[in-house]
Amino acid sequence: MPDRSSRRAFLKTSGALSASSLLGSGLGGCAAPSFPAPPLSTAEQLQLSSVQAVDAIRSGRIPAQTYMRTLIARAEALKDLNALIVLDTAGAMQAAQRIDAMRDSGQALPRLAGLPIVVKDNINTSALPTTGGTAALRGVRPKRNAPSLQKLLDAGAIVIGKSNLHELAFGITSTNLTPFAGAVKNPYDRTRIPGGSSGGTAAAIAARIVPAGLGTDTGGSSRVPAALCGIVGLRPSVGNGGAQRRYTDTHAVVPISHTRDTVGPMARSVADIALLDAVITGAPVATAAALRGLRIGVPASFWEGMDSQLAAVVIKAEARLANAGVVFVDVDLPGLQALNNSVSFQLALHEPIADIPAYLAATGVTGITLKDIAAMVASPDVKGAFDAILADAFGKDYDAALRVHRPKLQALYADYFATHRLDAMLFPTTILPAVPIDLAAGSGKVSINGGPLVDTFGTFIRNTDPGSNAGIPGLSLPAGLTAGGLPVGLELDGPLGSDARLIAIALAFEAVLGGVPAPNL
């Protein structure tokens, strides 16, 4: 469906709602629900967003310990999702007790007082091991928290546990075959993947175990699971590193690629992402942009080849945004995929050769080598990736990828936004909803609309990977549910450094599109 006329035709033939019925349906609002006087019921506690939870704790409407007990019980009840590698009940309750003691004594509470979060288990935590979801690193205990996490902790957030992930973050399904981790299940359908590699964080948030958490993103690892689990995921600007990098967590995350890796917040609302991003960066909390007059690029190549049920959702969402005043500009990025193919694996399968040993040294890990880690990998797809890394299969192409092709990719994006005067670009985060878990391969083959089998990994990162390689910011937010009840995401990508503006646009889009219903668990 390469242009708007084709997408409008799809709407007509699929029995989509008319513009007037869309505007009058009441589906577009996302106003915060009003709650009765305390105490909040268990069901009400589970539906609290991060902003609402912090407000309830700070105002005294619910003690931090009461809220924490509710979420711990939720985590225990939903162990079968494999969303968490470890649940730190004692540590979380002690931290909640400190928050309550501060409030009871009249002390000023920090900005995120009592907010429970999960942290992907490749992000360094001093209170808990950081395993990367792999056997060789199970005993790694960092001395310091990752800087982005430390900012949240300093503001009063509480780590309830470490979340599961695709082994070593080298995959898009979170089907981790390491015995102590296991395959993460999608809360909307336990037989399906949650996306990856930050699948545990996404599943925990969607399942109402926590309202927010941290993932990481190299080629789509926070945005893909956000899309498949009906939540919001942000990949902040990375650029060429240094001052262009929005979050600074060097050597504080089990790495894939220092050029591409970043920590990214995940939550059930864009407002929560805005709050977490503000705490991490020290910037003001973003406020919603005005919809009318926004110029949003719609690149045809990102909208082609979609699953039909997913297409119905994203095309209706685009129509609702257009009715709200957004100006969509049909313009593609010629040659993007070929250029991206000259950058992607060349970075991701060469940089670990130096980056993983550098991380181990900086974290104080001794007696473990890159070869040791590779030898103990349990997931077949990740084993294949490490075979390529140890053979340095892409080493000969690395310099050209970094110094020639990546700058061209970055220039293509910069020219796209500038030439067409675009605030951002919009596209389906993934071209498929969640697919069945493949325990044999970890990440095998999938079919789109009954077509030939294609690579699962490449299919799910097709739309997220190019922006990752260019280092620009991207945010996935819910677009709705398929006819089969599976979440679908829409992604906004923006120019390098436009993170605050991108969040502001996403806030406005969320006001039109709303969220998705909670899974039936």
By annotation, the residues acting in catalysis are 120, 197, 221
Tokens at 76, concatenated: 């225990």
Q: Which helix (H) or strand (E) holds 19?
A: helix 19-24
Between the alpha carbon of residue 30 and those of residues 386, 432, 512, 513, the distances in Å are 44, 26, 8, 8
Residue pointed to by tokens 């075959």: 177
CB 504 within 8 A of CB 234: no
Residues 225 and 72: their CA atoms lie apart, in Å, by: 22
Burial class (CB in 10 A: 0-12, 13-18, 19+), 288: middle
- In sequence order, the 6+-apart residues with CB closer than 8 A to the CB of 210 are 71, 116, 117, 118, 160, 204
List, in sequence order, the alpha helices (H) in 28-146: 42-47, 50-59, 64-77, 89-104
Nearest by Cα to 104 from 161, 53, 58, 160: 58
Contact 83, 209 (CB under 8 A): yes
For the packed helices 308-323 and 4-13, what is the interaxial angle rounded to 10 degrees? 110
Name residue, tokens 């219903």: 517
CA 245 – CA 229 distance, rounded (Å): 27
Q: Are strands 212-217 and 116-120 parallel, antiparallel or unpaired?
A: parallel
User: Beta partners for 428?
Assistant: 490
Whole-angstrom Cα Rg for the chain: 22
Cα separation values, 368 from 89, 143, 162, 257, 359, Å: 30, 17, 22, 19, 11
HSE-up (13 A, CA, CB side) for residue 236: 25
Amino acid at 487: P
In angstroms, the first-to-last Cα distance of the chain is 35
User: How does DSSP assign 155-199, residue by residue?
Assistant: TT-EEEEEEP-SGGG--SS-B--STTT-B--BTTBTTB---SSSH
Let me know: does 395 contact 153? Beta carbons within 8 Å.
no
